[in-house]
Structure 1
Amino acid sequence: MTADPLDAHPTMAKLTRSTHPAPVFPEKILQFGTGVLLRGLPDYLVQKANNEGRFEGSIVVVKSTDSQTDEFSEQDNLYTVAVRGFQQGQEVTENVIVSAISRVLAAQTQWSEVLKLARNPKLQIIVSNTTEIGLNYVEESIFQNPPQSFPAKLTSFLYERFRSVGGSKAKGLVVIPTELVTDNGLKLRDAVERLAQFNELGKLFTKWLKFHVRFCNSLVDRIVTRPTDDSQKILQQEVGYEDSLLTFTEPYYLWAIEGDDRVRETLSFAGPSSPQIIIDEDINFYKERKLRVLNGTHTLTMPLGYLLGLETVADEMRHPTMSKFIESLMLNEIVPTVPHYDIPGMDKAAVTQFANDVLDRFRNPHLDHLLLKISLQQTAKMQARNVATLQRYYEQTHEVPKLMALGFAAYLLFMKVVREEHGQFFGEIALASGGSLNYPIQDDKAGYFYGDWKTVKERAPATVQTFVQSVLSDKTLWQTDLTTLPGFSDAVAKDLNLLLTKGVVKTLESAVA
């Protein structure tokens, strides 16, 4: 029996401050959340700035999900960020030991320690990444130990800060949520202000919140994951130590933060050597660019890739026909529609550069970005990411975007429900080796399509046309009538009929020929 080469290595020492000594800096940041995105972006960036002497601050992390912090304490709060991928055609390999986290506190059992930090005069910044619903307002007392919701925890912390500094202007804080929610800073501010009112915290606290606590909308863009078991073993062999918190990420990153000079001065870990940290009073350009180019392309191409039998985004980019479709769709139909300004870094060239960066990111063989994961709530994503792009394309060209039409047709085919089981809907694809594969359709509109697809008859183009017109004209799905876009409904119906009769491979090949 042959031994697994991945296991053929001596026992390695665990990553700790005794094996890898690191300086200790004043605690300047409070972070709500221990997830990989925070570890691979804000914490990583603070570490880089500390290494260059530009920030010299540490991070106190609050864990809300449970009281287990052994993962961090066993490694003295150190962990490694492994960066792998391509940038501008060049392969990037980097291992960074992050020592910027000073403590990890469990909210459930150490809330008094969290509140004690509010009295720290050196504290400047609060960062969060809970969940998309984590910013929602929940009516509750902030004097629980601890409060339940994240906004209530934050309100409790800010109130303790206000009381300890006597409402000092100089001791206000900058709060930066990174949750993937539109206007996340404004949403969090609203929840905190409502909790202050519900808990009758007084006019002076409300005034201090308004003038001295800055809530910043922000946009984060970086794929960060936990490595697979095999990748973990390989990476640990490379670095020469055991790291159970090892974090895997791509080279590209962007953190756009809506802020003024005060925010810029406070976030001293941003600067000329970190141009991907953008602090601007309006970050809408960056939000639109990511939503349309990266997210919109994912949504329009995922169904075709999955129906081809591919599993990941990297698989799509290795497929000669699919990769050509993705590049042409992105560069020729989506990029020209993205709003831009006549300002360096926010102009047409910046949109094109971002698109080329995205293609590099899609090609990254080190990331297992599953297509089925991208398919979650596909209908809502199609509306949010691509309807405005469609409309802008028509405004600019007065023509049918042929590749978008095919992407939309493939989405409709992906949403073809073949069976329901205990409230879960399933679609089906034919396998090249014979037989078929059922896949879950994780979409609130799956039941809607289950009913509508029953009206479509095999090899009956008229029924396909009627089905497409019915779906495209439904304003409850798209917040507009897509049949008003000249020729779009006909193009989608034609492509859907080809997908049903000729198959995905031949339809795709003819589209990019």
Structure 2
Amino acid sequence: MTPADQPSQTASTPTMAQLNRTTHPAPEYPEKILQFGTGVLLRGLPDYLVQKANAEGRFNGSIVVVKSTDSQTDEFAKQDNLYTVVVRGIQQGQEVAENTIVSAVSRVLAAQTQWQQILTIARNPNLQIVISNTTEVGLDYVEESIFQHPPQSFPGKLTAFLYERFRSVGGAKGKGLVVIPTELVTDNGLKLRGAVEKLAQFNELGKLFTKWLKFHVRFCNSLVDRIVTRPADAEAQQKLQQALGYEDDLLTLTEPYHLWAIEGDERVKETLTFVDPASSAIIIDEDILFYRERKLRVLNGTHTFATPMGYLLGLETVADEMQHPTMSRFVERLMLEEIVPTVPAYETPGMDKAAIKQFAYDVLDRFRNPHLDHLLLNISLQQSAKMQARNVATLQRYYEQFKAAPTFMTLGFAAYLLFMKAVREEDGRYVGEIATGGGVITYPIRDEKAKYFYDRWQQVTPTDAATVRQLVVSVCADDELWGIDLSLLPDFVDRVTEQLTSLLTEGIEPTLAKAVQ
């Protein structure tokens, strides 16, 4: 019987056992970590690392998870809070395949219906650490009473929890906690501390609590770097489950590379015993700026310069870019020749130029990972803000170092301008078009500056070099958009205009091929 003749199966295959503590017995540990968030990033990085530490006898603790978005915890309960992290990808040119059943989660509680139980955890003498991953806006201050059940915001929930902790331990200094937010916000620990302190003041929680908060609760800035997803669809889920031999509705797919940089002192190091001192994957340092800059410029900055070009070529994912011979060459040369030399380095081993270059090679391996569907259209979300945050400083540093306009960054910037060319507005949304051999592909321009670019492109005739140049000049000179006047960078406008004109008149592929030859 051919595959087409076989009866179809759903992702839930009745012939396989369900993953749980009956089918897969696992040890239980005292609850040492409270975690706000149930998402795949937390499951595939902090929780995975705690699991590894437990298996090696370095932590011997479990995680209580708080779910804030709704009260549904059935997925976890059905599996006794077990799930599998499936690692697939390329590392140093070698294929990596690893499956780890994570049993480090003890309970998953819903804030909406089990808030009193969550507050009870504050009295647990074993509790040491709080981890979070809400959303980028999840760390914002919301003026509210922390005595609601539950408070609305994450900082409100955390303040209520810390206040309950303070009252239960009588303000004992040895019972403070280490708080590590992992939200993708610069200085996330400082931002969260500021919100908690403001809430303590608004709720009149008293000077003794404020003092305990200041001296005995350590908020750590942190940076997480790992691509973690769910299987792409039901078919991919079923295939992985068949390989594992059991059903797992929480199956988590991730790449081999991972980094968690935590800003902390000796007290933090003493508390985070799940950290292997010999590992370079978890770093505790009093200053993590190097790691943040390296990721922002090399990984994120390359994405932002390359994504518009890749998408205009008709590619869908980062892996597609790396399989395209011309596009992959563009990505490699952009990263290694123009971005890597500009990243600030230190003389300390692990934070020097060699470490930056090795990180770049690791990133290229990650980009080539065929197991992760990292969609270019998703990366293009708020492209203008990302271009400013990730790449303006890189451009400035390149000019300072090389005294010339960069070839690949100017081409990436030109492709970004073309990507932002909307052909029409539909109910306040702006739509771009790509002409292909098989017709026309439309795509949404999900960017706060979509109207800004739509209006400027209305004045452009693609075959009229003067109108193309005027577009480039007006956009580059907008210091409100970029924080500086990019038109003052020598030859930048000329090179971007030249590249954009070529993209418009000669096409994407010929322009790209000419640049990387």
TM-score, normalization by structure 1: 0.99
The match for 2:56 among 52, 56, 59 is 52
2: CA distance, partners of 1:116 / 1:2? 56
Q: Supply the AA of the counterpart residue of 1:415.
A: M
Equivalent in 113, 125, 128 of residue 129 of structure 2 = 125
Q: Which residue of 2 aligns with 1:277?
A: 282
Of residues 295, 315, 323, the one that matches 1:318 is: 323
Aligned match for 1:2, one of 5, 8, 16: 5
Q: State the Cα distance separating 1:498 from its structure 2 match.
A: 0.2
% of aligned pairs identical? 74
* TM-superposed deviation, 1:457: 1.1
Residue 212 (1) aligns with residue 216 (2): yes
Alpha-carbon distance in 1 for matches of 2:461, 2:431: 19
Asked whether 1:355 is paired with 2:360, we answer: yes
Question: Which residue matches 1:445?
Answer: 449
Q: Which residue of 2 aligns with 1:191?
A: 195
Q: How much has 1:432 moved relative to structure 2? A: 2.0
> 1:157-211: CA deviations, max 9, x gaps?
0000000001001000000000000100000000000000000000000000000
Number of the residue aligned with 2:24:
20
Question: What's the counterpart of residue 335 of structure 1?
Answer: 340
Contact 1:85 1:91 in 2 (8 A): yes
1:144 paired residue number: 148
Partner-residue secondary structure (3-state), 2:87:
strand
Partner SS for 1:103: strand
Task: Give 1:346 shift.
Answer: 0.3
Give the letter for the 2:6 counterpart: A
Check conservation: 1:40, 1:81, Cα contact below 8 A: yes
Which runs of 5 or more residues in structure 1 are unaligned? none
CA deviations over 1:194-246 (Å, ceiling 9, x no partner):
00000000000000000000000000000000002222111111110000000
Q: CA deviation at 1:272?
A: 2.8
Structure 2 Cα separation of the partners of residues 461 and 484 of structure 1: 20
Matched residue, 2:370: 365
- Counterparts of 2:7 and 2:95, CA distance in 1: 28
> Structure 1 4/481 Cα, relative in aligned 2: closer, same or farther at 3 Å?
farther
- The separation in 2 between residues aligned to 1:458 and 1:122, in whole angstroms, is 66
CA–CA distance in structure 1, aligned partners of residues 461 and 78 of structure 2: 61
Q: Is residue 261 of structure 1 aligned with residue 269 of structure 2?
A: no
Tell me, yes or no, if structure 1 residue 242 matches structure 2 residue 247: yes
- Number of the residue aligned with 2:461: 457
* Contact 2:462–2:501 (Cα < 8 Å) also in 1: no
Tell whether 2:301 aligns with 1:296: yes
Q: Name the structure 1 match of 2:101.
A: 97
Which of 401, 410, 430 is matched with 1:425 structurally?
Answer: 430
* Inter-partner Cα distance in structure 1 for 2:348 and 2:8: 53
The alignment's TM-score, normalised by the length of structure 2, stands at: 0.98
Structure 1 contact 303–407 (Cα < 8 Å) conserved: yes
Q: Is the 8 A contact 1:6 1:234 kept in 2?
A: no
Alignment gaps of 5+ in structure 2? none
The 5-angstrom pairing of residues 102-113 of structure 1 reads 102-113=106-117
Deviation at 1:15, TM superposition (A): 0.3
Q: CA RMSD in A?
A: 1.1
Deviation per residue, 1:368-424 (Å, 9 max, x gap): 000000000000000000000000000000011011000000000000010000000
Q: Deviations over 1:310-367 (max 9, x none)?
A: 0000000000000000000000000000001000000000000000000000000000
SS of structure 2 residue aligned to 1:465 = helix
Instruction: Please tell me whether the aligned partners of residues 84 and 93 of structure 1 are also in contact (alpha carbons under 8 angstroms).
Output: yes
Alpha-carbon distance in 2 for matches of 1:71, 1:361: 30
Corresponding residue number in structure 2 for 1:159: 163
Correspondence for 1:180 among 184, 187, 190: 184
SS at structure 1 position matched to 2:5: coil
Displacement after TM superposition at 1:10 (Å)? 6.2
Find the counterpart in structure 2 of residue 39 from structure 1. 43
Query: Aligned residue pairs: how many?
Result: 512
Q: Secondary structure at the match of 2:515?
A: helix
Give me the whole-angstrom Cα distance separating, in 2, the residues matched to 1:34 and 1:71.
11
CA contact (8 A) 1:313 1:371 kept: yes
Deviation at 1:275, TM superposition (A): 2.1
- In the alignment, is residue 484 of structure 1 matched against residue 491 of structure 2? no
